[in-house]
């Protein structure tokens, strides 16, 4: 069964309930370390990065049987549906009919990502197909919607910064060569942070890419624990970093500092479109 949007406590309750309701004699818990949570039933934990290791993979293939429960927790880590670790997990699922798949958000970037979770719950019977409405009856899906909302707080950029921004943009466009074009907005967004920095409230907490401004009340997306309510100082370029942050913090509504520079508008619109894809994904699942 696939569960979307559950908290760690709710996940643990589902594992406990499932084990009591079925003749489960062994539980394997697959998860990235940062998403690991206390499980009250006896289990063996296997870290995401270790799943493909020979010492784990072949042993699990032998030990997973008809009465084994496999818990797949927050393992949507890449958009490549046929990535090696996904293939290993699918092979585990072929050994048992007992699986619980937990994922906080239904996608990384597009709804095609959800089919990775769908494969886990359907023993990969449609692993080369895209989602269609008829699939609703093929998988057991419980949805607790997490709707992401962004509230922009617009802040001005000084004429000096606007001039530096225009020069940096022209230089990077002229010298892009064969490099990824996304290096342009990535770097311009770091520069525009100079406009957002004066508007940081010392009484609030912020989330950003790095600590280049040495702010005591700012955490980065690479941290694994988030205990406050955060304002977005800047977005990460890769959606998976923000999805991880949402899952770990449990926060879904965000104030966002937005400088009056095109790159800031570009990132805001990009993430607003992402939040709409999440909404549309829930609608597709519900029908």
Q: What percent of the chain has pLDDT over 90?
A: 93
Please report which confidence band the pLDDT of residue 60 belongs to, taking 50, 70 and 90 as the band edges: very high
Place of tokens 């594992």: 15
The conformation of residue 10, written as its DSSP 8-state character, comes to H
Mean pLDDT on 153-180 = 92
Q: Is the pTM of this model over 0.85?
A: yes
Residue 176 has pLDDT above 90, yes or no: no
Residue 8: which pLDDT band, with cuts at 50, 70 and 90?
A: very high
Domains of the chain: which residue ranges? 2-143, 149-286
Contact 74, 102 (CB under 8 A): yes
- E strand residue ranges, the chain: 2-4, 26-31, 44-47, 68-73, 98-103, 141-143, 149-155, 205-208, 218-220, 230-232, 253-259
Q: How far apart are CA 248 and CA 179, in angstroms?
A: 33
Handedness of CA 70, 73, 79, 83 (dihedral sign): negative
Mean pLDDT across the chain: 96
Q: Which of 34-38, 67-71, 181-185, 258-262 has the lowest mean pLDDT?
A: 181-185
pLDDT value at residue 208: 98
pLDDT in tens, 110-162: 999 999 999 999 999 998 899 999 998 999 999 999 999 999 999 999 999 99
pLDDT of residue 179: 80
Residue 79 class from Cβ within 10 Å (0-12 exposed, 13-18 middle, 19+ buried)?
middle
Class of domain 2-143: alpha beta
The per-residue pLDDT for range 26-38, each reduced to its tens digit, is 999 999 999 999 9
Q: What's the pLDDT at 252? A: 98
Tell me the average pLDDT across 7-12.
Answer: 98
- Over 80: is that where the pLDDT of 287 sits? no
Mean pLDDT of the region 44-49:
97
DSSP string over 50-99:
GTTSHHHHHHHHHH--TTEEEEEES----S-TT-HHHHHHHHHHTT-SEE
pLDDT at 181: 84
**What pLDDT is attached to residue 162?**
97
pLDDT at residue 175, as a whole number: 86
The candidate with the shortest Cα–Cα distance to 227, out of 210, 242, 205, 212, is 205
pLDDT bin (cut points 50, 70, 90) of residue 105 is very high
Q: Residue 14 — pLDDT band, cuts 50, 70, 90?
A: very high
Mean pLDDT over 190-218 rounds to: 97
pLDDT at residue 174 in the model? 87
């Amino acid at each position: 069964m696939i569960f979307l949007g559950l908290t760690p406590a709710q996940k643990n309750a589902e594992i406990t309930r499932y084990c009591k309701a079925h003749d489960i004699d062994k539980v394997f818990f697959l998860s990235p370390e940062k998403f690991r949570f206390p499980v009250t039933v006896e289990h063996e934990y296997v870290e995401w990065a270790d799943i493909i290791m020979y010492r784990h993979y072949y042993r699990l293939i032998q030990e997973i049987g008809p009465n084994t429960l496999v818990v797949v927790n927050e393992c949507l880590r890449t958009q490549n549906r046929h990535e090696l670790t996904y293939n290993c997990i699918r092979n585990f699922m072929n050994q048992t009919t007992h699986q619980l798949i937990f994922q906080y958000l239904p996608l990384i970037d597009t709804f095609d990502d959800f089919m990775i979770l769908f494969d886990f719950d359907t023993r990969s019977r449609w692993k080369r197909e895209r989602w269609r409405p008829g699939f609703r009856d093929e998988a057991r899906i419980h949805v607790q919607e997490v709707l992401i909302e962004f509230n922009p707080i617009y802040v001005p950029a000084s004429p000096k910064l606007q001039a530096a921004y225009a020069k940096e943009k022209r230089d990077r466009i002229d010298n892009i060569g064969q490099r990824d074009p996304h290096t342009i907005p990535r770097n311009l967004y770091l520069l525009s942070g100079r406009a957002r920095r004066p508007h940081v409230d010392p009484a609030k907490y912020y989330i950003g890419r790095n600590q280049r401004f040495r702010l005591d009340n700012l955490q980065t997306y690479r941290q694994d624990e988030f205990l406050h309510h955060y304002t977005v100082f800047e977005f990460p370029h890769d959606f998976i970093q923000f999805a991880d942050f949402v899952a770990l913090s449990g926060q879904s509504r965000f104030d966002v500092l937005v400088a009056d520079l095109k790159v800031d508008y570009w990132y805001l619109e990009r993430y607003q479109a992402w939040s709409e894809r999440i909404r549309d994904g829930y609608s597709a699942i519900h029908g």
